[in-house]
Every structure is written in structure tokens, then in C-alpha cells.
Amino acid sequence: MSRSHSTRISADVRRQQVRARYGGIASGGDCCSTGGDSSRCCGSGTGNSSCGPTSVAPQLGYSTKDLAAVPEGANLGLGCGNPTALLALKPRQVVLDLGSGAGIDCFLAAKKVGSKGHVIGVDMTPEMVGKARENARRGHYANVEFRLGEIEHLPVADGSVDVVISNCVINLVPEKGPVYREAYRVLRPGGHLAISDVVATRPISTRDRANLSLWSSCSSGALEVKEVKTFLKRAGFKDVRLDLKSSERAPDSLRGQASLGVVSADIRAVKPND
């Protein structure tokens, strides 16, 4: 599955492309100015009036209250949903965000788990980690930390997390299987996975898989629904659920993905109790 999608271009080359693109955004660029295809970044604008974090975020499921609650600079307009709204986070929980970017979902989760809870964000892009840490400092978030690392090799202890969230990041990873296995490893028994990501509603061509710009814009790295379910079940998850969002109601920021048959989806699963 994902292995055959990545053999024509090495995993390292794909990671370098993704790291360069989102590192540039963290350093002051935006998805409207990075060039490339019409769907320039995950959750990006398409070069029209909809481009920009303020206009994109409500279409992705963030309320005005959500946006007002996070530090300025945490919302970059990236993503394809709002994973913190997929389940009821509870006080004292430990939450892990895979590919945390500038920290918007971590900060929203931090409000819900409270001062006795804890939120960990992991991102492979140094510029994003630096930006998120600065946002946490300015917002006085004592219960949030950001770690540099790849989500295929999480710098997180076994069985130490109650909830794993992610927002339009797993599709960017060359090998998806290890990501789901790592998520399973760090979750406590009974822990939950709640992800917003893009999935393919039809096969994506080898040519499009090899297009690095499409891949790094959350388009051609998407898996089909059956593949996502297979990886989750092989990792050990149960109660796997995928809810696809209609491409006809997709925000302007995801229209480029829709042209490939790629749509956003809410993905949920549970780690069984021992």
C-alpha cells in the first residue's frame, strides 16, 4: 500500500520537501505565496479571496470562540478539520498532537484538559516547533510542550497518552503504517485516536504520487478508505470509524484536493483495554 506509493521517490526526499515547505510558512511565508499547484498547502487558500488563516479556519470547523482562545500566530490556516471537536476531551487527560505545527490544536486541547492535564505536540519541522514554543510562552501555556521529532518515531513513552489527535498531517508521511503503530504504542489501554485528514475516494495515479508538490500539499499522499482502515486494524485499533465529508461542501481551501478525488475525513479509533 503506502510502501509502493513511496518507492519511486525516497522517503527522505519526500520529508525534505514537506519540511522545506512548512518550514517556510513557519518562518513568515504563507500558503498563498509558496507557489506550486492550486492546493498549495494543507488547508491552504487557492490564491483567491478565501486564502488566509482567518477565512479558512471557520470552514474547517473552528468557531470564533476557538480562534479567540489561542495565541496570535497559532492559526496558520492549515489543516482539514478540527480534531479537538471529534471527542469530548476531559480534565487531567494527556493529549498528543501528531504534526502540531504552530500549535492551534494543542492550545485548544490544553483549555479542555485543564491545568492538571498535559498536551504534547510533535513536529519534524524545527521552524514550526520554534514558533509553537514561542506561542506557548506568549500565551502562558504551562501545560503544553512541543517536541521535535518524526511521527513515525515518536519521542513519547509507551502507554503515556489518553488521546492522540492530528490534523491533515499523516497523509504527508511516506510510510503510514508506522505512524498508526506508534500512536497505538503511546496510548494507554482504552485511549482514543481522533484525526482529521484527507483520504482518496478513488485510486491516485503513480504520476501524481510522484509529484512532490501535490504530495506536500496534502493531495497525492492520501490513502483510500480501505487502506486507512487496514493500517489502523493492523496496528491493533478497534471501533475504527471514518466519516467522509462531501467534496461539494469542501471549503475553498481544499478544492485542489477534490479534483484528485481526495476529500477530508474524520477518523476515530480506540485502543482496546487490556
- Per-residue pLDDT for 251 more than 70? no
The pLDDT value recorded for residue 200 is 95
Q: Which helix (H) or strand (E) holds 25?
A: helix 11-26
On the 0-12 / 13-18 / 19+ scale of CB atoms within 10 A, 72 is exposed
The pLDDT value recorded for residue 149 is 97
The residue ranking higher by pLDDT, 98 or 52, is 98
Provide the pLDDT confidence category of residue 37 given band limits of 50, 70 and 90.
Answer: very low
Domain count, the chain: 1
CATH number at residue 183: 3.40.50.150
Provide the pLDDT confidence category of residue 35 given band limits of 50, 70 and 90.
Answer: very low
Of 51, 48, 22, 42, which is closest to residue 257 (Cα–Cα)? 42
pLDDT winner (highest mean) among 24-28, 60-64, 160-164: 160-164
Which residues are CB-neighbours of 88 under 8 A, at least 6 positions away?
none
Q: Are 183 and 267 in contact (CB under 8 A)?
A: no
Please report, for residues 126, 239, 252, 256, the alpha-carbon distance to residue 42 in angstroms, rounded to integers and kept in the order given.
18, 27, 12, 10
DSSP state of 179: H
Portion of the chain with pLDDT greater than 70, in percent:
83
Number of other CB atoms surrounding residue 233 within 10 Å: 13
Domain housing 208: 2-270
Number of other CB atoms surrounding residue 80 within 10 Å: 31
Number of other CB atoms surrounding residue 47 within 10 Å: 13
Q: What is the mean pLDDT of the chain?
A: 87
Report d(CA 15, CA 272) in Å as an integer. Answer: 32
Arithmetic mean of pLDDT, 72-83: 91
Report d(CA 208, CA 39) in Å as an integer. Answer: 13
Report d(CA 53, CA 111) in Å as an integer. Answer: 21
Q: What is the pLDDT of residues 116-175, one digit of tens each?
A: 999 999 999 999 999 999 999 999 999 999 999 999 999 999 999 999 999 999 999 999
Residue 190 grid coordinates: 482504552
